[in-house]
Amino acid sequence: MAENTLEAQIDEWRRYVRGRQVVSPADGDELEDHLRARIEELTDSGLSADEAFLVAVKRIGSLDALTREFAREHSDRLWKQLVLGTSSPDDGGRPRSLLIALGWAVAAAVLFKVPALFGASLEHGTFYAANASLLALAPLAGYLTTVRGTNRRTIAVVTALFALGVLGANLYLASSKDDVSLLTFLHLPIALWIAVGVAYTDGDWRTGPPWMDFIRFTGEWVIYLVLIALGGGVLTGLTGAALNATGVDPEVFVFQWMLPCGAVGAAVVAAWLVEEKKSVIENMAPVLGKVFTPLFVATLVGLAVTIVVNGIDVDRDALILFDLVLVVVLGLIVYGISSRDPADGPGLFDWLQLGLVKAALLVDLLVLVALAMRLSDYGFSSNRTAALGENVVLLVNLLWSAWLLLGFARGRTRFAVLESWQTRYVWVYAVWAWVVVFAFPLIFGFDVSNFRLD
Amino acid sequence: MHIAKDLVAASTTPLVLGILAEGESYGYALLKQVGELSGGHLEWTDGLLYPLLHRLERLGHVESVWRQPATGRKRKYYRITEQGRAELAEQHRQWSTVVDTLRNVWQDNFSVAPLRPATEA
pLDDT category of residue A317 using cuts at 50, 70 and 90: low
Higher pLDDT, A91 or A196: A196
B75 and A38: CB-CB below 8 Å?
no
Q: How far is A54 from chain B (nearest CA, A)?
A: 13
Instruction: Find the mean pLDDT for residues B66-74.
Output: 82
**pLDDT computed for residue A141 by the predictor:** 92
pLDDT computed for residue A174 by the predictor? 66
Of residues B41 and A85, more confidence is placed in: B41
Q: Each residue of A129-151: pLDDT tens digit?
A: 888 889 899 999 999 888 877 78
Predicted pLDDT of residue A104: 92
Q: Is the pLDDT score of A452 beyond 60?
A: no
Instruction: Give the mean model confidence (pLDDT) for residues A363-384.
Output: 83
A221 and A248 housed in the same domain: yes
Subunit contact A31:B58, Cβ cutoff 8 A? no
- Which member of A29, A38, A69 has the closest CB to residue B51? A69
How far A53 CA lies from chain B's nearest CA (Å)?
14
Our CA-based measurement puts residue B46 at a distance from the nearest CA of chain A, in whole angstroms, of 4
Residues A79 and A124 in one domain: no
Is residue A344 located within the same domain as residue A398? yes
Sort out which chain B residues have CB atoms less than 8 A from A33's CB and list them: 26-28, 73-76
Q: What is the per-residue pLDDT across A213-228, written as a single tens digit (0 to 9) for each? A: 888 888 888 888 999 9
Residue A407: which residues within 8 A CB-CB, separation 6 or more? Answer: A413, A417
Domain co-membership, A360 together with A433: yes
Q: Which residues contact B27 (CB under 8 A, 6 or more apart)?
A: A30, A33, A34, B49, B50, B53, B76, B78
Interval A44-89: pLDDT, tens = 999 888 889 988 888 888 877 788 777 777 765 554 444 434 343 3
Cβ-contact A350, A408 below 8 angstroms: yes
Burial A266-297 (b: 16+ CB within 10 A, else e): bbbbbbbbbbbbeebeebbbbeebbebbeebb
Q: DSSP letter for A204, please.
A: -
Q: What is the model's pLDDT at position A78?
A: 55
Q: In this structure, are A118 and A65 located in the same domain?
A: no
Average pLDDT of the residues of chain A: 81
Assign 3-state DSSP to chain A and report helix, strand, coil percentages, each to 5: 80, 0, 20
State yes or no: pLDDT of A209 exceeds 50: yes
For A152-196, write each residue's pLDDT tens digit: 888 899 999 999 998 888 877 766 677 777 888 888 999 999 999
pLDDT at site A445: 65
Please tell me the distance from the alpha carbon of residue B13 to that of residue B89, in angstroms, as a whole number. 12
Q: Mapping DSSP to helix (H, G, I), strand (E, B) and coil, where does residue A269 land?
A: helix
Picking from B48, B50, B55, the nearest residue to A30 by CB comes out as: B50
Last residue of a domain, one of A32, A66, A87: A87
Best-predicted range by mean pLDDT among A19-23, A144-148, A319-323? Answer: A144-148
| Inside any domain, residue A189 | no
User: Do residues A380 and A272 share a domain?
Assistant: no
H/E element holding B64?
strand B62-67
Tally A–B CB contacts below 8 A: 58
Q: Taking residues A5-27, report their average pLDDT.
A: 81
User: CB-based contacts of B70: which residues, under 8 Å, 6+ apart?
Assistant: none
Residue A28 sits in the same domain as residue A145: no
* A200-204: average pLDDT: 76
pLDDT 10s digits, B96-108: 999 999 999 888 6
Q: For residue A19, what pLDDT band results from cuts at 50, 70 and 90?
A: confident
Which residue, of A249, A279, A309, is where some domain finishes?
A279
Model confidence band, residue A92 (pLDDT cutoffs 50, 70, 90): very low
Q: Which of A27, A29, A59 sits opposite B46 (nearest CB)?
A: A59
pLDDT tens sequence across A96-142: 778 889 999 999 999 988 888 887 777 776 788 888 889 899 999 99
Residues A125 and A233 in one domain: yes
More confident residue, B16 or A220: B16
| Global pTM value | 0.62
- Read off the amino acid at residue A102: L
How far apart are the CA of B17 and the nearest CA of chain A, in angstroms? 18
Domain B5-81 is found in CATH 3.40.47.10? no
The answer to the question of residue A203 being in a domain is no
Same domain, A420 and A312: yes
| Residues A30, A12: Cα–Cα separation, whole Å | 16
What residues in B contact A45, CB-CB < 8 Å?
A: none
Q: Are A402 and A378 in a shared domain?
A: yes
Q: Is the pLDDT of residue A325 over 90?
A: no
pLDDT at A450 (0 to 100): 43
Regarding whether A372 and A224 lie in a shared domain, the answer is no
Residue B27 sits at the chain A interface (C-beta within 8 Å): yes
Calpha distance A13→A454 (Å, rounded)? 66
Query: Minimal Cα–Cα distance from B77 to chain A, Å?
Result: 10
What per-residue confidence (pLDDT) applies to A83? 42
Looking at the domain assignment, is residue A125 inside a domain? yes
Structural domains in chain A (count): 3
Query: Are residues A322 and A367 both part of a single domain?
Result: yes
Q: What is the DSSP letter of B108?
A: T
Among A21-25, A210-214, A384-388, the range scoring the smallest mean pLDDT is A21-25
Question: At A309, which amino acid appears?
Answer: V
pLDDT on residue B84: 92
Which of B30, B31, B46, B55 to substitute to test the interface with A, most A CBs within 10 Å? B46
| Residues A283, A270: Cα–Cα separation, whole Å | 14
Reported as a single tens digit per residue, the pLDDT across A266-297 is 999 999 988 877 654 456 766 777 788 889 88
* Domain range enclosing A145: 94-170+214-279
Tell me what the mean pLDDT of segment A324-346 comes to. 77
Question: Per the domain annotation, does A77 fall within a domain?
Answer: yes
% of chain A surpassing 70 pLDDT: 85
Last residue of a domain, one of A64, A87, A110: A87
More confident residue, A94 or B54: B54
Examine residue A107 and state whether it is found in any structural domain, yes or no.
yes
Q: Residue A446 above 70 pLDDT?
A: no
Q: Compare CB distances from A38 to B45, B46, B54 and report the shortest one's residue.
A: B46
Q: Which of residues 48-67 of B touch A (CB under 8 A)?
A: 48, 50-52, 54-55, 58, 66
A71 found inside a domain = yes
CB A395 within 8 A of CB A358: no
Average pLDDT estimate for A315-344: 76
CB contact under 8 A, A59 and B58: no
